Structure 1
Amino acid sequence: KAYNPLFIYGGVGLGKTHLMHAIGHYAHELYPDMRILYITSEDFTNQLVSAMQTNQNQQFRERFRNVDILMVDDIQFIAGKHGTEEEFFHTFNHLREAGKQIVMTSDKPPKEIQKLEERLCSRFEGGLVADIQRPDFETRLAILRKKAEFEHLNISDDILALIAEKIDTNVRELEGSVTRLTAYSSLTRRPIDMQLAREALRELFKHSETRVITCDSIQDAVANYYGLSVEDLKSPKRNHEITVPRQIAMYLAREMMGLSLTRIGDAFGGRHYTTVMSSISKVEDSIKQSPSLVSLLDDIRRMIKNPT
């Protein structure tokens, strides 16, 4: 019951649908007689409209309410569609009261889905809300190794590490890079080596070339994002409009450069290291409470790595 509903959210290409299917397959292996229904929210809406037009509302409800697990992909698309929200609200309640499992995916957490009815939002948050983060380097490398192994490909770890370093967006692009690499190798009838990898994936690498990150570049990106000057970040001003961006810049300097607290303090107007420590801790605490801050930080990181 603690995990009902299970609400999974994350960006495009991070594996939400894949994870949902894995849950369904695992449940079927454990309980072969279990009734499991997977559907996208778009198909749910289309079938509802069709049922209403053909006076088959009862058959529609029986189909979705006589299951043990209901899995709805991209639930955010029902927001603002009053008829769909109304029907799903009652379907949700029926299943929950009957002790049946509900699993949903979305590109954002419930409270950030615009136009979603409050009563649905509160129900979606009533179970487990799980965030799928972009994979870190080690995870990206593991994904590439698994993909190469699954496809019976002999690709050196150096090449896989290069791809993992350059492509940090999502799983779909990672796996697509391996497909592109093998296709290029087949077409040119050349073995997969470092030179071929750079040729085959140059377009993917073009926008993610390694760039020297400095404290100045971090301060520039944060200042531009918030419409401030770098001098504001270094100044003694303590109003909220400047304090929060300054804390974020300090956090990114620590995360992306590994600078000591003292060095970060020096770069921000000679602040004491305890002030820097406090600033970083505040951002870390905020990240746990605010998915929107995670997205904001990703945007600034991209600005730092790929300035226009």
Structure 2
Amino acid sequence: MESSQNDTLTVWSKCLPILRERLPVPTFETFVRSASPVLCKGDTFQFEVGAPLMKDWLESKCKQLIMEVLREVTGKNLRISFALGNGASKPGENWEAESLIGKILIEENQSPLLCSKYTFDTFVVGNSNQFAHAACLAVAQTPANAYNPLFLYGGVGLGKTHLMQAIGNHIFSTNPVARVVYASMEKFTNEFIISVSDGKMSDFRNRYRNVDVLLLDDIQFIIGKERTQEEFFYTFNELHGASKQIVITSDRPPKDIPTLEDRLRSRFEWGLIADIQIPDLETRAAILNKKAELEGIRVPGEVTSYIAEVVPSNIRELEGALIRVIAHTSLLKVPVSLEIAVEALKDFLAPSNPVKPSVPRIQQVVSDYFGVTLDELNSPKRNQRLVKPRQIAMYICRDLTDASLPTLGECFGGRDHTTVLYACEKIESMKDDPSVAQTLKNIVAKLNGNNKS
């Protein structure tokens, strides 16, 4: 049955206000409003558009929603088709219009929550995250073909969000019109609750299901939320069934998320599960060097090594400590140095989270205690004013750190390990001397943050 042009326009005029509410403004104004309904023949609603790019976009991004709205308005399951009108431009003919459309698409599709600094180039790879990094890069290069879903888990501040957003940013760099949505599970849940109460579930589902890539952070917040789990289950199924990429992060593996429905748990395990561990010392130092490089600030290696040793927990705290040191030097208008780093972080580190003192920190505290400089302590000079402080520093380093004798020799001006062993034996033999014992006690107390001794 063929409808008249007037009937077709009447139906479409009823659809437009509904579509305006459910679509982003750029998409509605640029694509949907400009589509001209020309005929409703049988079960097919036909449109004409003015450019190939517009036709491609409407077919790939808006077709399903338009069909849903037509069904709401007419009560019929209508198919739709898009054709180029007689005056339509050919690909490349109207480059100004196509450039404008492309810009609109990029601005609309890029998730406002994606942070441009989170890229693979700014991520430091180490033994603790090498597998997760490789998996994320594979997903970014071939979405929905490598691992789908990709499930990343690890402790707070270890780089899960960085890697997840790096996937999104990489996909945008290679396909600017890809529709990538990044959200936390908390945001997903809050929007779901509001959509239910406001009767706008179709808007919510269009936002999270009409995508090419869904990046969902902190899935563990779904614990105990049965209706949210059910909604996400169907969202997951629709995206996975349409070969759309899903990336999920959590602070624990799926099997350890309590009250998670078995059907969701099994789906999370369909793809690849990759964990991120606490970075080792070398990786922590590399992360600090990268951060300093990105900030455009020169930080001596001994400073990054010190921070890496005294902040072993996570990357956020590590970078926070570096920022604190940089701020300290900026306010005092002095260059970054080990002495400044020790001073800047004394309150940051103690006493709530005591850590083993590092070799540089022990050297600094011993130097301050005896009134000598670090350069003097590590110099080849052998006068009595320096020998005793140096031997005490070597002894305390051997006692309180895991550094080997050869490593300690290198830290103290490139000395042989036998020199360190002699110094340790010398101080050990003098511990019965009350003055030496008190000196050791005072220095250890300062290392532990107790400056009253």
- Provide TM-score, normalisation by structure 2: 0.46
1:210 correspondence with 2:331: no
CA distance in 1, matches of 2:156, 2:320: 14
Residue matched to 2:148: 4
Residue matched to 1:32: 176
SS in 1 for 2:302: helix
The residue type paired with residue 139 of structure 1 is T
Q: Measure how far apart 1:64 and its partner are.
A: 1.0
1:130 correspondence with 2:274: yes
Residue matched to 2:247: 103
SS in 1 for 2:157: coil
CA distance in 2, matches of 1:204, 1:9: 27
Q: Measure how far apart 1:115 and its partner are.
A: 1.1
Greater relative contact order: 1 or 2 (C-alpha under 8 angstroms, separation 6 or more)? 1
Which of 75, 79, 83 pairs up with 2:223?
79
Residue matched to 1:173: 317
Q: 5 Å matches for 1:154-233?
A: 154-206=298-350, 207-210=354-357
SS in 2 for 1:89: helix
CA distance in 1, matches of 2:340, 2:285: 19
SS in 1 for 2:176: coil
CA distance in 2, matches of 1:158, 1:25: 34
Count of residue pairs the alignment pairs up: 216
Residue matched to 2:163: 19
SS in 2 for 1:104: strand
1:142 correspondence with 2:289: no
CA distance in 1, matches of 2:252, 2:312: 19
Residue matched to 1:249: none
- Provide TM-score, normalisation by structure 1: 0.67
Q: Report percent identity of matched pairs.
A: 52
CA distance in 2, matches of 1:165, 1:79: 36
Q: Measure how far apart 1:203 and its partner are.
A: 2.7
CA distance in 2, matches of 1:81, 1:48: 11
Max radius of gyration: which structure? Answer: 2
Which of 37, 46, 49 pairs up with 2:193?
49
Q: Measure how far apart 1:44 and its partner are.
A: 0.7
CA distance in 2, matches of 1:211, 1:179: 20
Q: Measure how far apart 1:190 and its partner are.
A: 2.4
Note if contact 1:36-1:68 (Cα within 8 Å) is conserved in structure 2. yes
CA distance in 2, matches of 1:257, 1:176: 26
SS in 1 for 2:246: strand
Deviations 1:219-256 (A, max 9, x none): xxxxxxxxxxxxxxxxxxxxxxxxxxxxxxxxxxxxx8
SS in 1 for 2:303: helix
CA distance in 2, matches of 1:63, 1:165: 45
Q: Measure how far apart 1:61 and its partner are.
A: 1.1
SS in 1 for 2:234: helix
Deviations 1:145-181 (A, max 9, x none): 1111111112110111111111111111111111100
CA distance in 1, matches of 2:177, 2:333: 49
Note if contact 1:2-1:128 (Cα within 8 Å) is conserved in structure 2. no
CA distance in 2, matches of 1:113, 1:196: 43
CA distance in 2, matches of 1:192, 1:211: 18
**Structure 2 portions without partners, runs of 5+:** 1-144, 360-401, 405-447, 449-453
CA distance in 2, matches of 1:4, 1:93: 12
1:68 correspondence with 2:243: no
The residue type paired with residue 103 of structure 1 is V
Note if contact 1:79-1:117 (Cα within 8 Å) is conserved in structure 2. no
Distance 1:257 1:123, change over 3 A: farther
Note if contact 2:149-2:272 (Cα within 8 Å) is conserved in structure 1. yes
Q: 5 Å matches for 1:224-303?
A: none
CA distance in 1, matches of 2:221, 2:338: 43
The residue type paired with residue 210 of structure 1 is P
SS in 2 for 1:7: strand
Distance 1:211 1:17, change over 3 A: closer
CA distance in 2, matches of 1:54, 1:154: 53
Note if contact 2:160-2:249 (Cα within 8 Å) is conserved in structure 1. yes
Q: Measure how far apart 1:188 and its partner are.
A: 2.2
